Amino acid sequence: MRFTDLIIKKRDGHALTTEEINFWIKSYVQDEVPDYQVSALLMAIVFRGMNERETSDLTLAMMHSGDVIDLSDIEGIKVDKHSTGGVGDKTSMALMPMVAACGAKAAKMSGRGLGHTGGTLDKLESIEGFNCYLGKEDFIRQVNDIGLAIIGQTGNLVPADKKLYALRDVTGTVDSVPLIASSIMSKKLAAGSDAIMLDVKYGSGAFMKTKEDAVLLAKEMIKIGRALGRDVRAMITDMDMPLGRAIGNALEVKEAIATLKGKGPKDFTHLCMEGGTRMLIQAKIAVNEEEAREKLKEVIRNGAAFEKFKAMVRAQHGNTEQIDHPELLPKADTVTEMPCPEDGYIYRMDALGLGRLAMEIGAGRETKDDVIDPAAGIVLNFRKGDRVSQGETLARIHHNRPLTKAWRERFMGCIEICGSKPEEEPLIYKILQEASE
């Protein structure tokens, strides 16, 4: 089989066979085909697309390109969640302890952040001593013992995706629903969970810019998961402005802790409750949404959700004093207040712009070698639609690097104030139980 023939076939709009897709992935992982040929095939896919069978075949080939984690030794239904990334998205740190406190087995493998989206591992490593890397046996033992573990992906989990994603990132071939869906689902399926809750985001701070594209991607991933025997559901959520108020690693840990104690931001709490409701049904802990919501409310009220998070931190060698007393988490040397320039209403908040600004002061990484500053970030005092007055503090910037005049000007450019209150948009646009919805 010649790789050139695959490029020509896809260029001309034909579907690749299962054998051809397996040949592509196997030969690329084994360094038997050069990057330039794979780049040409990826570009052909961007223009010509893939059908449902091709996308499933690609997902399976990538999934089996390295380790596939067997979680059958964990009792009960294993649940996982995945977000397509956004600004201030600390959902895993609150949602997973909530569902675990209700009795679900929450087994999650997470990644690091690159660019304006922060990674769950970077946030958890703000906690002194926290160990993100457990061996398979320790991972399984911890989930069996306390019902919860959030760890980093193993070194050989879906190596095909690592190579392909790096290539797509530099060849303008990221923007393809089949390639995005297979990338996400190959990792989720290789990680071994039975049920997956997807949070597919759209808007300025998300990869998918429109609701329609987010729904298309979600349906594709649900189809893949269902075809392979997994219960996959999806929330389509707005990322035109940051989630919650905190952007930055230790700051987001603090906000997740507050949420577990029932004192979190309204939008973030709502997202966790709605996601958790479906996950408890997927785990067969609740038979309907009403029962699931009551269970989640109760573990917040009685402190069980907070204690579950603390138990995970303890099991993974983190300093639980910082959980009981979040003021002990890393703090920036300087906190600068950004004043409101005029009276009016917050009309727009540019999530992408704010995320990039947070990255520039150390809260994210532009290249994989950049070092995260766990204390750096932004805490917003207002949300879209809020009334503001001149001189009020719009946000507090936590930083160890100096803020330049240009940085401050760009920050103010991310927040638009006008004389009338904007129409309120729902955080959750749609929840999909099936791909046909």
Write out the DSSP string of 243-306. Answer: SSSEESHHHHHHHHHHHHTT-S-HHHHHHHHHHHHHHHHHTTS-SSHHHHHHHHHHHHHTSHHH
Q: Which of 161, 199, 240, 373 is catalytic?
A: 161
Residue 199: DSSP 8-state: E
Q: Which of 10, 82, 233, 278 is catalytic?
A: 82
Residue of 83, 41, 7, 118 whose CA lies nearest to 354: 118
**Is 14 a residue of the active site?**
no
Neighbours of 288 (CB within 10 A): 10
Q: Which of 10, 78, 123, 187 is catalytic?
A: 187
Q: What is d(CA 273, CA 286) in angstroms, rounded to the nearest whole number? A: 14
**Is 187 a residue of the active site?**
yes
Q: Which of 126, 183, 186, 204 is catalytic?
A: 183
Could you tell me which residues are beta bridge partners of residue 28?
A: none
Three-state SS for 349? Answer: strand
Residue of 81, 83, 85 whose CA lies nearest to 116: 85
Q: Which of 90, 105, 168, 310 is catalytic?
A: 168
**Is 384 a residue of the active site?**
no
CA torsion sign, 271 to 330 to 126 to 307?
A: negative
**Is 183 a residue of the active site?**
yes
**Is 56 a residue of the active site?**
no
3-state helix, strand, coil in the chain (%, to 5): 45, 15, 35
Could you tell me which residues are beta bridge partners of residue 152?
A: 110
Task: Tell me the residue length of the chain.
Answer: 437
List, by residue number, the catalytic residues.
Answer: 82, 161, 168, 183, 187
